[in-house]
Structure 1
């Protein structure tokens, strides 16, 4: 098994917001928590905006945050209903909406200068939604993209839960499902059990790969993912059935892109990353990480960091040529 450096302890989600924190209020009234690491004056022309994955929070980028600090201005944010961001109406728990949120974070915190967007899992889907909604940003303000363990579509639809959600949508029952979730949310949270052995087993199977799990890492990821309220998790699940942003991939083709996949990722299988790279074309570089699972940014940090820094080298080289 490849040796890995010990994982960092992730900062807690409670307590006072850390220095550099800001609030961006969306056009539908949800307060999004944003953290900014300013680069030393004159040392970084780029801003990197990092979007986390489903049921996580911005702290999942902690390892990459350390690697990139000083190389670029960093903007990290908690997607609606996650981390320190505000509760979302469950009817707005969609990838379409998180794409709009990403655009509003970009407008508020990085209104000028070149930007590289980075997304893990659902964060990558938010980038694709933004590319569909506002293609004029790509190749102008957005000059690069880092797509980590994500998918452009066709991710969910099998199994009992997928069948039930699909059936509910066909019967017009999805609004009722989301309304009931909203009503039952306090009760569901009171009765929820966190930190269980069965939960750990599920995390180990779904978030880790063939040879990248150890008990400490599994517990840390379990704690991170179980922070998100269960109703938010259940509401967002429905959007993955609809998620299809393959038509947005040519928009990403306007800028350098790095796609990182993990060979044993059970949530966003490596084949989805390959499709993204193939559809983008010559501007995409594909990095496959053997033996790793969905939490590849934590368990194979050195590989992911190197791929990220290489992307920034490509972006900066292109900016110098254009300038």
Structure 2
């Protein structure tokens, strides 16, 4: 469930296996990959990566350009801001963008690419930190949501960690205020508040302990040979397909097109970017942020077979958030927005209902106070 971590696993594995060579890829094409891709694929015609919104460039605190897209009316009563995970892009939210844009009340949807990912600018290595991505999210909110206006935050994997960093450094956003956007709800998907060093990637504990210390050094070495490694990753696409399916998904009937789509996003992320963020994800510890997030309604979603951010991490987050809804899909991996999109969209819609009820009660209370003050 710990979102950032799983990306680490997938991205590192794809990078490493992609460098294994073309011979293995050719063999796999005729075996596992070929068989999987011949299965019925109901999502084959889904326009992945083609849904776009109104583009906006937001300048981060260090001057980096962040790519943002807005879908929905400017006068919408509520804005939802989506933050994607490590080694992915805003297109991770394809199904949610497709289905929530027509929700009752027509909320305004905001999607953005994290620094060094997707269409956003390339960051310097020293700024590849969770605190910085939280600050980036703050810049996106200030640029897209009016002061005092309500906003719901949705984060997957490292995107959930960015929300935690935002909450820790800007707790005022989670209070009634007219000076800044007002966070009224949070959805955390396949993410973690820390202790990612305990992750085993589904390996036996003894083996995981042996391999874990090797990962940072291996990725740093690959990062120093970024041009070569990225070319080889492209040649090993079929191997990457198998690794991605194994590491990111648990449903054996997941659409091959969905697997391809995820693998392409990972492969498009430069290996040096993957190497730069990896140590920060391992060291991530934002448990202190949960007290602030607990001030607003929340939903936490996890995959029971998540090899990168195990469901225990989601459970611990939900336990720390008073009244939070917890959803765990037993036969799901680390990419719930793509593997079980209806579960994620449904969770967000229920959160919006709770937020709407709370806003109605708040407005009724304010009107009552105003009447009392006028009659006094």
Taking structure 1 as the reference length, the TM-score comes to 0.87
Given the alignment of the two structures, is residue 286 of structure 1 paired with residue 326 of structure 2, yes or no?
A: yes
Larger RCO: Structure 1 or Structure 2 (Cα < 8 Å, ≥ 6 residues apart)? 2
Equivalent position of 1:319 in the other structure: 359
CA distance in structure 2 between the partners assigned to 1:311 and 1:297 by the alignment: 16
Aligned pair in 2 of structure 1 residues 19, 198: CA closer, same or farther (>3 Å)?
A: closer
Matches within 5 A, 1:93-112: 93-112=128-147
Q: Which runs of 4+ in 1 moved over 6 A?
A: 180-183
Answering whether residue 274 of structure 2 is matched by residue 236 of structure 1, we say no
Deviation at 1:226, TM superposition (A): 1.1
Q: Residue 69 in 1 paired to residue 101 in 2? A: yes
Q: Secondary structure of the residue that 1:151 maps to in structure 2?
A: coil
> 2:63 corresponds to which residue?
29
Match of 1:173 in 2: none
For residue 59 of structure 1, what is the aligned residue in structure 2? 91
Q: Which among 128, 133, 144 is matched to residue 169 of structure 2?
A: 133
Indicate the residue corresponding to 1:9 in structure 2: 47
Change beyond 3 A, Cα 1:181–1:225: closer
Structure 2 gaps of 5+ residues are 1-39, 177-181, 199-207, 364-376
Structure 1 or 2: larger helix share? 2
Is the Cα–Cα contact under 8 Å of residues 190 and 314 in structure 2 kept in the other structure? yes
Q: Give yes or no for contact 1:23–1:34 (8 Å, CA) kept in 2.
A: yes
Cα 1:162–1:91 change in 2 (3 A) is farther
**Match in the other structure for 1:47:** 79
**Pair 1:224-2:265 in alignment:** yes
Match of 1:295 in 2: 335
More divergent stretch after superposition (63-72 vs 75-84): 63-72
Could you tell me whether the CA contact under 8 Å between 2:41 and 2:257 is conserved in 1? no
The 3 A distance-change label for structure 1 pair 96 and 159 is farther
| C-alpha contact (below 8 Å) 2:41/2:256 kept by paired residues | no
Query: How does the TM-score come out when normalised to structure 2?
Result: 0.75
CA distance in 2, matches of 1:194, 1:105: 36
Q: Measured at CA, do residues 181 and 102 of structure 1 come closer, stay the same or move farther in structure 2, by a change above 3 Å? A: farther
Number of equivalences: 305
For residues 129-165 of structure 1, the C-alpha deviation after alignment (integer angstroms, 9 at most, x for no partner) is: 1111111111331010010111111113564564247
Aligned to 1:88: 123
Contact 1:211 1:292 in 2 (8 A): no
